[in-house]
Amino acid sequence: MNTNETQSDIWRWMPDQMSTFASNVDGLFYFILILCVIFFTLIVGAMVYFVVKFRRRTDQDETPLIKGNHTIEIIWSVIPGILLIAIFTWGFVDWMKLGTVPPNALDVRVEGYKWAWSFVYPEGIVSGELVVPVGKPVKLTMSSKDVLHSFYVAEFRIKRDVLPGRYTVQWFEATDTGEHWVQCTEYCGTSHSKMIAKVKVVSQEEYDEWISTGGGMGDDVPLADLGKMLYEQRGCVACHSLDGSKVVGPTFKGLYGVERKFTDGTSAVADDNYLKTAILAPNDTVVEGFSPVMPSFQGQLNDRQISALIEFIKSVSQ
Ligand SMILES: [Cu+2]
């Protein structure tokens, strides 16, 4: 189980280790940290000791002529040299593991955009949450629709840049069930800090169930509820508020059925057709007072999901 809840946040030092990489990464980190602490103490200690011991006591006190000492020079070159080679080898071996995807890995495509993540499964499911089975390698093939992002899951100890126009690959194997967060760790604009997505590690049975019910977006979910889920998972929440406040985009509060004015001087009533166009081709008309920064969701949402978003907008308009 996820132990997040049982740990006191103040005493938290490292996030829980939740992937097969985590203990290796931490092991190397602690090795370097301890080494640094030991050498820092030794060097600064010796420095302070010498400063005091060899301080000038009288005006006649002269600094003696100091010549080299081959023995200690060799010692202080060879020991750090060996340590460096050890750190490099350790790091290199682990780094190769991070880059070598096991052949039986589950394939998930990851798309980052301002300001959300979407995950596409081989079965065709598009989800705003990364749901994976425990104890199975997962391969992420990642790309960005717009600017540089970076995919980071602290508990898995994985982080990789997500680039426009190029795929980057990352894999991991979760060792326990639980929930974590994906965070974007490459500053990407206004709502960068909201560019998060849930990672759910579940049992194989739960995973199969999730896939067979269409990724929690099955036909039995009421439209407005599905809409709310999509609003949160697909990143609308980063730009559209529900409480009337202006974020990057207009609020959804009271939107349905009112007149909209556009930057080109035209206007329209926010009915179902308008909302659908606004989602699929957001830059056809741009609402007055806003910039055309909304990404198109053409091909990203199916008809039922678009209807769901419209129903949701309706439900928060009353
Ligand atoms: Cu980002």
Task: Tell me the domains of the chain and their CATH numbers.
Answer: 15-99 (1.10.287.90), 106-212 (2.60.40.420), 223-315 (1.10.760.10)
pLDDT in tens, 4-57: 444 455 566 888 999 999 999 999 999 999 999 999 999 999 999 999 998 888
Q: Give 124 Cα–ligand 1 centroid separation in angstroms.
A: 24
The CA distances from residue 55 to 40, 43, 58, in Å, are: 22, 18, 9
Q: How far is the CA of 186 from the centre of ligand 1 (A)?
A: 5
- The conformation of residue 19, written as its DSSP 8-state character, comes to B
Say how many Å lie between the CA of residue 192 and the centre of ligand 1: 5
Low-confidence ranges of the chain (pLDDT < 70): 1-12, 218
Q: How far is the CA of 15 from the centre of ligand 1 (A)?
A: 21
- The predicted pLDDT at position 213 comes to 82
Identify whether the C-beta of residue 171 lies closer than 8 Å to the C-beta of residue 96.
Answer: no
Burial tier of 22 (Cβ tally within 10 Å: 0-12, 13-18, 19+): buried
Q: Cα separation of 317 and 312, whole Å?
A: 9
Q: What b/e readout covers 254-268, taking b as 16+ CB neighbours within 10 angstroms?
A: ebbeeebeeeeeeee
Residue 149 CA, ligand 1 centroid: distance in Å: 4
CA of 68 to the centre of ligand 1 (A): 53
Q: Which two tokens stand for residue 234?
A: 């697909």
Through-space distance between the first and last CA atoms of the chain, rounded to whole angstroms: 41
| Amino acid 10: pLDDT | 58
- What separation in angstroms does the CA of 156 have from each of 46, 115, 249, 269? 40, 22, 34, 47
In the prediction, which pLDDT does 215 show?
Answer: 80
Residue with tokens 């000492």: 69
What type of residue is 245?
S
